[in-house]
Structure 1
Amino acid sequence: MVSVPPHVSVVIPAYNSERTLYACLSAVYGQTHPPVEVIVIDDASTDRTREIARRFPVRLLQTPVNSGPAAARNRGIKASTGDVVFFVDADCAPTPTAVATALRIMADEPDIDCVHGVYLTEPLYDDGPVEAYRLLHAHYWRVRNTGRVRTAIFALCAVRRSVFDDIGFFDERLRASEDVELSDRMADRHGIWLSADVTCRHDDDSRLWPMLRKQFGRSQMLVPVAVRERGPAGLRANRPGGVLAAAAVLGTLPLAVLTPVLLVLPGLALTWFVVADPGLADFVRRERGTAFLALFLGLHFLVHLAIVCGGTVGGVRFLLDSDFGPTHRLAPGTSR
């Protein structure tokens, strides 16, 4: 009996994506396993996103107000018809075999219902050292965790439609960590695989302050999502030791007001941070050299400070506001 290849629906949430959407759609239509449909959900963009989408034979959906990626993806899922929904962020350009490779992994591993991939270190557009930092780190921590995992990152991700029939959709109250929350509901009943062979080029943050501001905002969901996780912790982009070291720098630095001798404490914490992830440092040195490694570690430290500050603010908000964070939604058939 000849098996029929799965029909694939590509779902692309887009918000003010005029810079990258043409490259994204060109890559999607260049797949070796072509999708049966491509659905672009314009999340109330104010730029030329819709105009660019209409240059391709996509199905274009529009939201009346900006609602975030969770709501946009949900709308795309409900409008799609494929056996597999392949999510691509509008700032990603998947390599030609991305869809085919994800399908092959699903075929080889019948209990795997979700396959997601990694960013290449080569950017979609080269915008300088901040973007190089972001892509090197994003590539490294994903490749470090390849294989069977408990977390899916939906920037480049294939999911069987049956998963959504079973566990429901993205939590639309979340504008960050929505993929972590959904995959937490998924992981106990549907296998998740992170593959270094499913790849894309990504247009990442390229300016320091917007990058830190985004990290601060996203980190506010770390505590609420972690508290409501129903299983073991999923993927983490940063080593716990590095996060604790950055927190220790912030916590001990004010002690220097008492006496300069106490500057040794934040100095020790900073040293702890530098050595917290030797594998990452070695990877960056091999990719870009020692001089870039120094810049990388400086940017990495600032990002960790944003994580600590955002996580602290989010934790306080979670304690004071019962509506802050994920909705208490469980998969059908599970108990609280």
Structure 2
Amino acid sequence: MTSPRHDYSVVIPAHNEAAVIERCLRAVMDDPQGVGEIIVACNGCTDDTAAIARRIAPQAKVLEIAKGSKILALNQGNAMATATPRFFVDADIVVSGKALRAVAEKLDDSSEIRAAAPALSVDLTGCSAPVRSYYKVWMQQPYVRVGMVGSGFFGLSAKGLDAVGTFPDIIADDLYVRTRFAPEQRARV
């Protein structure tokens, strides 16, 4: 029996994300055209993140990594993924299957775009005035407005994956990816 061919892969690093993993997975799987390959890389979890992921997305590959390390989760999930483009989505992010498909179209192998993400929308419902003020300023920064890639989600084409290689032991994975590509190689969809 052969595995189904997927249009894209989604790697979700998850450390004790039981409170949000269902919301993330349901959004990713909401695509009438079909769901891509999903890999949930549970790392150092002491809660039931893995069990919830298996229940909500039985088709997903769920890794259980003993060490709590986002970079380790990204690299092991990436090694297990089989399709490109490849998306890296933080477990607390909500991105629809429709948005994934739209970004995947931008990351076509014939394109010069190597890294892309959907336009960012921050839900500030229930946030305090200082938090809303902070995000009002933050949303005006060039990082957010120009060729945005990151903030919990980025997608890479096959050429983009080759350029990034293995994620180094860093803190800001999305910023690292953004700095690997010239502005004309990044896109906000």
2:34 maps to 34
Using the size of structure 1 for normalisation, the TM-score is 0.48
**RMSD of aligned Cα (Å):** 3.0
How far apart are 1:74 and its partner, in Å? Answer: 1.1
- 1:110-121 alignment, distance < 5 Å: 110-121=111-122
How far apart are 1:9 and its partner, in Å? Answer: 0.5
1:105 maps to 106
Are 1:155 and 2:127 counterparts?
A: no
Instruction: Name which one, 1 or 2, has greater alpha-carbon Rg.
Output: 1
How far apart are 1:59 and its partner, in Å? Answer: 0.6
1:131 to 1:109, Cα distance in 2 relative to 1, 3 A: farther
How far apart are 1:34 and its partner, in Å? Answer: 3.2
1:179 maps to 174
1:74 maps to 75
1:95 to 1:182, Cα distance in 2 relative to 1, 3 A: closer
Contact 2:107 2:157 in 1 (8 A): no
Quick one: distance in 1 between partners of 2:163 and 2:109?
22
Deviations 1:282-311 (A, max 9, x none): xxxxxxxxxxxxxxxxxxxxxxxxxxxxxx
Deviations 1:155-179 (A, max 9, x none): 22211133223441211x21x2233
1:143 to 1:165, Cα distance in 2 relative to 1, 3 A: closer
Deviations 1:79-105 (A, max 9, x none): 000121111110011134211221233
Amino acid in the other structure paired with 2:120: Y
Q: Which runs of 5 or more residues in structure 1 are unaligned?
A: 196-336
Quick one: distance in 2 between partners of 1:34 and 1:144?
30
Q: Which runs of 5 or more residues in structure 2 are unaligned?
A: none
Contact 2:113 2:157 in 1 (8 A): no
Quick one: distance in 2 between partners of 1:178 and 1:108?
23
How far apart are 1:114 and its partner, in Å? Answer: 1.1
1:52 to 1:138, Cα distance in 2 relative to 1, 3 A: farther
1:64 to 1:107, Cα distance in 2 relative to 1, 3 A: closer
Deviations 1:142-195 (A, max 9, x none): 786234x6xx31622211133223441211x21x223323432x3159811133
Match of 2:161 among 148, 161, 164: 164
Q: What percentage of aligned pairs have identical amino acids?
A: 23
Between Structure 1 and Structure 2, which shows a larger proportion of helix residues? Answer: 1
Q: How many residue pairs get matched?
A: 182
Quick one: distance in 1 between partners of 2:51 and 2:84?
29
2:51 maps to 51
1:62 to 1:72, Cα distance in 2 relative to 1, 3 A: same
SS in 1 for 2:94: strand
Amino acid in the other structure paired with 1:155: G
